[in-house]
């Protein structure tokens, strides 16, 4: 075959490919109705026409109300209403029309405002309603950082909010960054606030962030507590390095300095630094190890073929109704998997800390067995930090984490049967989830 014939075949194949693509495009256009003309009765709305009647009426009403309030301020400053006559010696000044129209960004949309102008004043006029050169309300300034917390990046404000707030709104990245700066001030005050003297339960865990140009990640140590009425309260958000002994001791030392004297139970993972800090500052507090962390550690030391079976065996221990049943479960597991020494040793070395929850109300067991109550606040936090990517400095990171956790903590559920938290704080003793005095009365009634 000659070069000319090859070129003809190549050109024909290219035409066939283009026809196939055009055919597919036409099919899509026909499917979505893009080839059909618009109906004659259909009218394309302009921006002003597209506004809802309710929205437009509310905006116009807000503009009129603000304008009336400004005029009322002028009346008070001049000591007379418009067109009202007063002796010249009592005149405080004269009205002189209005300044050029100003766009004021508010949470209900942009408002067109005309500031009254005055002349021959004996004392200067300063509006208490609208400051000089003010382009947006304080509500908008409070609203913008909340949107950043919700996931809007600095570059997205101009794109998404300009239409809503109007041309008067300051949506530059520098302005948003200045509004966020107050979080650092709030954080410095928040970490020094006083605490209650006692908490029934405390969960402690850490989350890691990338801050600045450092190669190592910053560990943010978080402590969540349960008050006497069963409410969950964020107690501490402090910086650390790999959850070391010194960092956790600093966290619990600060809790003690802020007034926290007694903790009923501390729940955490296998971090040795955490338990050393608890032992040093709150040696009377009971210690509960997270079952989910322990399960993962044990299963990691078993072959894949035994994973499902071992998971069921561990779950039976986890769901045991009494401490005695759980101990029997440990014995059965150790005998069954005695050929895998590291896995058995990993489970048995923390047996006491895994069974501490039996000394507390049964209604609370589900929350006490794991660190899920505090890790549930980390999940949306990690999602938000992916958007942020890298934070410039440590205080900015801590302030952001604190604000995100506080926003999340507001939606945390109260502890089931939260009234029993007060009994835990009062020192009521429990055996297998039942108060000892109730158990004694039950036994006596059975004997009788």
Q: Are residues 209 and 162 in the same domain?
A: no
Which of 212, 219, 220 lies closest to 237, judged by CA? 220
Q: Note whether 370 and 265 are same-domain residues.
A: yes
The answer as to whether 438 is a domain residue is no
| Between 47 and 72, the higher pLDDT residue | 72
Instruction: Give the dihedral sign, CA 424/272/274/278.
Output: positive
CA angle 228, 233, 235 (to 5 degrees): 110
Residue 31 included in any domain: no
Among 190, 207, 226, which residue terminates a domain?
A: 190
Q: Which of 192-206, 317-331, 400-414 has the lowest mean pLDDT?
A: 400-414
User: What is the average per-residue pLDDT within 52-72?
Assistant: 82
376 and 309 in one domain? Answer: yes
Q: Print the domain residue range for 227.
A: 195-426
- Residues 191-227: pLDDT tens digits? 899 999 999 999 999 888 766 555 567 788 999 999 9
CB 358 within 8 A of CB 432: yes
Which pLDDT does position 203 carry in this prediction? Answer: 95
Within-domain flag for 23: no
Who wins on pLDDT, 389 or 77?
A: 77
Among residues of the chain, what percentage have pLDDT more than 70?
90
Of 145, 169, 190, the position where a domain reaches its end is 190
Domain boundary residue, one of 140, 161, 190: 190
Compute the average pLDDT of residues 309-338.
Answer: 94
Identify whether 267 is part of a domain: yes
317 and 377 share a domain? yes
pLDDT band at 25 (very low <50, low <70, confident <90, very high): confident
Model-level pTM?
0.73
Is residue 439 scored above 70 in pLDDT? no
* Burial group, residue 206, by CB count within 10 angstroms (0-12, 13-18, 19+): buried
Residue 279 belongs to some domain of the structure: yes
Number of domains, the chain:
2
Q: Is residue 371 part of a domain?
A: yes
* 33 Rama sector, left if φ>0, alpha if ψ -120 to 50, beta otherwise: left
In terms of DSSP bridges, do strands 218-226 and 232-240 run parallel, antiparallel, or are they unpaired? antiparallel
Confidence of residue 311 (pLDDT cuts 50, 70, 90): very high
Task: State pLDDT tens for residues 349-371.
Answer: 999 999 999 999 999 999 999 99
Tens digit of each residue's pLDDT (9 = 90 or more) over 255-279: 999 999 999 999 998 888 899 999 9
Cα gap 290→243, rounded to integer Å: 16
pLDDT at residue 438, as a whole number: 66
In a domain, 25, yes or no: no
* Beta carbons within 10 angstroms of residue 105's beta carbon: 25
């Amino acid at each position: 075959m000659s070069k000319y014939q090859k070129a003809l075949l190549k050109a024909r194949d290219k035409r066939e490919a283009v026809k196939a693509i055009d055919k597919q495009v036409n099919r899509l256009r026909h499917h979505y109705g893009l080839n059909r003309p618009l109906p004659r009765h259909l009218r394309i709305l302009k921006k002003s026409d597209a506004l809802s009647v309710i929205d437009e009426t509310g905006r116009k009403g807000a503009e009129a109300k603000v304008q009336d309030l400004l005029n009322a301020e002028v009346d008070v400053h001049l000591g007379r209403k418009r067109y009202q006559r007063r002796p010249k010696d009592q005149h405080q000044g004269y009205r002189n029309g209005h300044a050029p129209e100003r766009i004021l960004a508010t949470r209900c949309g942009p408002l067109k405002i005309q500031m009254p102008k005055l002349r021959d004043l004996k004392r200067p006029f300063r509006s208490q309603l609208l400051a000089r050169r003010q382009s947006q309300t304080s509500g908008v300034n409070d609203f913008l950082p909340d949107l950043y917390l919700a996931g809007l990046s600095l570059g997205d404000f101009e794109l998404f909010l300009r239409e809503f707030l109007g041309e008067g709104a300051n949506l530059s990245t520098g302005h948003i960054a200045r509004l966020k700066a107050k979080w650092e001030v709030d954080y410095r005050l928040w970490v020094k606030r006083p605490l209650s003297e006692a908490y029934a339960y405390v969960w402690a865990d850490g989350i890691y962030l990338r801050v600045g140009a450092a190669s190592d990640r910053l560990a943010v140590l978080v402590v969540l507590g349960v008050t006497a009425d069963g409410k969950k309260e964020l107690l501490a958000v402090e910086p650390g390095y790999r959850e070391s002994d010194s960092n956790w001791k600093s966290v619990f030392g600060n809790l003690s300095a802020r007034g926290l004297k007694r903790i009923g139970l501390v729940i955490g993972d296998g971090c040795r630094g955490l338990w050393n800090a608890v032992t040093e500052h709150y040696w009377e507090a009971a210690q509960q190890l997270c079952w989910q962390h322990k399960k993962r550690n044990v299963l990691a030391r078993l072959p894949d073929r035994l994973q499902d079976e071992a998971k069921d065996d561990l779950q039976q221990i986890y769901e045991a109704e009494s401490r005695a049943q759980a101990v029997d479960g440990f014995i059965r597991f150790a005998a069954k998997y005695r050929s895998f020494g590291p896995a058995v040793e990993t489970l048995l070395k923390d047996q006491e800390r895994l069974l501490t929850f039996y000394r507390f109300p049964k209604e609370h067991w589900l929350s006490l067995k794991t660190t899920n109550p505090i890790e549930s606040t980390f999940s949306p936090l990690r999602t938000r930090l992916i958007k942020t990517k890298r934070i410039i400095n440590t205080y900015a990171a801590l302030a952001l984490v604190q604000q995100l956790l506080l926003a999340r903590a507001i939606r945390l559920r109260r502890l089931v049967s939260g009234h029993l938290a007060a009994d835990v704080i009062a020192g009521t003793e429990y055996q297998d989830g039942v108060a000892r005095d109730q158990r004694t009365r039950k036994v006596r009634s059975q004997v009788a």
